[in-house]
Amino acid sequence: MAQTKQEIAEANRRRYEELRAAGQELTPKGLPEPTALDGAPIAADAVIHREQVPAGWYATIRLRRGEALRIVDDSGRSSVSLIGWREEDTSERINCADTVKVQWSAAISKGRVILSDMGRVLLSLVEDTSGPHDLLVGGSTPASTLAAFGATTRNTQENFLAAAAKIGLGVRDIPPCVTFFAPVSLDDAGRFLWNPDRKRPGDFVDLRAEMNIVVVASNCAHPLDPARPAATGPVTLIKHRAAPPTEDDLCRTASPEAARAFAFTDRLYA
């Protein structure tokens, strides 16, 4: 018997409530503890490339599927904003809004993923010592540095523009970014708060590429960091070969949503 419009709406609401309960109550319980500061060493023969990016600068890194990028906040004072595109079709790129809503959380940490706009996984957060990363506020801009310092300084928006230009892309290709080591939270009124006690020297993330991608990492102080302009220091980037994901891989199994996004990603390479 055909369902009435009302019955379909009620069934859709029930499914939504089930997904919400799973996504906000069950999934977080299964997420791992943060990586220890001295944990997850990278074997010397797995390192492909290592470089230190000075404060205010950026680096563009190509990652093949299965390679990973470790970003280390050497001083504990830096924040690193990141965007990325799929190498074979740069109209597919990081999508912070989908990343947040698909995972029912604006707080990403070890075990979470960063999605593209095509329902696929761009990066997996396979190691993470700290957890406080920002997907809502974005990086610094000429306007934000002018407002903070009275003069425009090096900033993430111009870094992204320069990096994009060097691979044949332009301002139209620059989406909202994720910023690592940026402990932003919200109060009850929705105002953004900065939580400096959640930053330590040596904090790092490991981002495993799930597609062939190009990422840009910009090492500029987050616009909400009250320690600016002292909130700077070099960061270390280590491109390395990640261990192949196992059946019970944390990120691939974290939630039904993540499992579907991985299934759609795997189809590109089937």
Partner 1 sequence: MTSPDCSDDAFPCDIPAERPWSRVLRKGQTLRIIDSEGQQAVDALLYCADDPAERYSSQDTLRVQGSAYVELGTRLISNKGRVMAHITADSCGRHDTSAGCCSCESNAVRFGESTKYQHACRENFILELSKHGLTKRDIVSNLNFFMNVPIDSSGKFTVVDGISAPGNYVEVTADMDILFVISNCPQVNNPCNGFNPTRIRVVVRDAPRL
| Residue listed under structure tokens 């991608």 | 213
- CA torsion sign, 47 to 48 to 54 to 57? negative
Q: How far apart, in whole angstroms, are the C-alpha atoms of residue 186 and residue 191?
A: 5
- In whole angstroms, how close is the CB of 246 to partner 1 at the nearest point? 22
The stretch near partner 1 (CB under 8 A) out of 37-45, 58-66, 116-124, 235-243 is 116-124
Reduced to 3 states (helix: H, G, I; strand: E, B; else coil), residue 116 is strand
Q: Could you tell me the smallest distance in angstroms from the CB atom of residue 3 to partner 1?
A: 13
Give the whole-angstrom CA distance, residue 178 versus residue 217.
10
Cis geometry, peptide bond prior to residue 229 (ω within 30 degrees of 0): yes
Quick check: helix, strand or coil at residue 54?
coil
Is the C-alpha dihedral spanning 86, 91, 95, 98 positive or negative? Answer: negative
CB nearer partner 1, residue 14 or residue 50: 14
* From candidates 38, 45, 188, 197, binder to partner 1 by CB under 8 A: 188
Among the residue ranges 72-80, 179-187, 199-207, 230-238, the one whose residues contact partner 1 (CB under 8 A): 179-187
Q: Which amino acid is at 179?
A: T
12 binds partner 1 per the rule CB under 8 A:
yes
Rounded CA separation 40/220 (Å): 26
Query: Within 34-53, which residues bind partner 1 (CB under 8 A)?
Result: none
CB of 240 to partner 1, least distance (A): 28
- Which residue number, 57 or 104, has a Cβ lying nearer to partner 1? 104
Instruction: Give me the residue label for tokens 């761009």.
Output: 122
| Strand 121-128 to 203-209 pairing | antiparallel
Spell out, one character per residue from 219 to 258, where the chain touches partner 1: x when CB under 8 A holds, - when not. Answer: ----xx--------------------------------x-
Quick one: 41 or 190, whose CB is closer to partner 1? 190
Among 29, 166, 191, 267, binds partner 1 (CB under 8 A): 191
The C-alpha atoms of residue 81 and residue 70 are separated, in whole angstroms, by: 14
- Total residues at interface with partner 1 (CB under 8 A): 60
What residue ranges bind partner 1 (CB under 8 A)? 5, 8-10, 12-13, 15-16, 19-20, 24, 91, 95-98, 100-107, 115, 117-120, 136-139, 141-144, 157, 170-177, 185-192, 223-224, 257, 260-261, 264
